[in-house]
Amino acid sequence: MNVAIIGYGKMGKEIEKVLVERGHKVVLTIDVDNSYLLDCKENMKGVDVAIEFTSPATAYDNIKRCLMCGVPTLSGSTGWIEQKNEIDTLCGNLNGAFFYSSNYSLGVNVLFRLNRWLAKVMAQLPQYEVKIEETHHVHKLDAPSGTAWTLATEMESASDGKLHVERGDIISYREGEVPGIHTVTYESEEDTLSISHSAKSRRGLALGAVLAAEWLVGRKGVFGMDDFLAI
């Protein structure tokens, strides 16, 4: 694939490594200094997929511009989820292709599945109180993390609203260079039950994003990891 990387930061660089290893070509690299290139369709000619990892403040605009250029777009930027419906609608109107996940780790996506299943069970056991905790490196701009936000939202829908965690009550720790730990804990007077995922590095996130981008090329519509993993 010919790939445009939008956001050449920690994730953009890790994704580039995985792309090269898998025989793909990075034909365009965009960061703050040259982001104006996204305004011109001509610059995106020959790009099979754009992979966007920038920031909460810039993701919406970048994704919009990539889709307007007619390029299938995958984003992993977090902290802009309130505007996702608008992007989904735009993608539909343009008959484009958009893929989004707040976390591209394969293990975290299994955690999402466990979380939904567990929420259904625990909704019937009111003696348990639920809490969500996440730990990330000190450079992370948004809190709570997009992944913690997804855990809370999916827990609520899987339990038909019986379980609820206020987004402001999600516990966020920022420590050193921690790649990402997410834990959902149910606690009663008698015991504690937790499900947890701890990333060892950013590589798992980059690999998941590249595999999802390979899957996206040739498809039309709005997709997420459940579509890709078919779980």
Rounded to whole angstroms, how far apart are CA atoms 151 and 155? 6
Clarify whether 140 is annotated catalytic.
yes
Q: Which stretch binds ligand NAD (CB under 6 A): 91-99, 101-109, 157-165, 215-223?
A: 101-109
Integer angstrom CA distances of residue 24 from 11, 55, 108, 142, 166: 17, 25, 25, 31, 42
58 in contact with ligand NAD (CB under 6 A): yes
Gyration radius from the chain CA atoms: 18
103 in contact with ligand NAD (CB under 6 A): yes
Q: Which helix (H) or strand (E) holds 229?
A: helix 225-229
Residues 11-30 as x/- pattern, contact with ligand NAD by CB under 6 A: xx-----------------x
Give the residue closest to ligand NAD by C-beta.
9
40 in contact with ligand NAD (CB under 6 A): no
**Nearest of 114, 174, 123, 117 to residue 144 by alpha carbon:** 174
224 Cβ contact partners less than 8 Å away, ≥ 6 residues apart:
99, 100, 101
150 in contact with ligand NAD (CB under 6 A): no
2 in contact with ligand NAD (CB under 6 A): no
109 in contact with ligand NAD (CB under 6 A): no
Q: Which residues bind ligand NAD (CB under 6 A)?
A: 6-12, 30-32, 35, 53-56, 58, 62, 76-79, 101-104, 140, 205
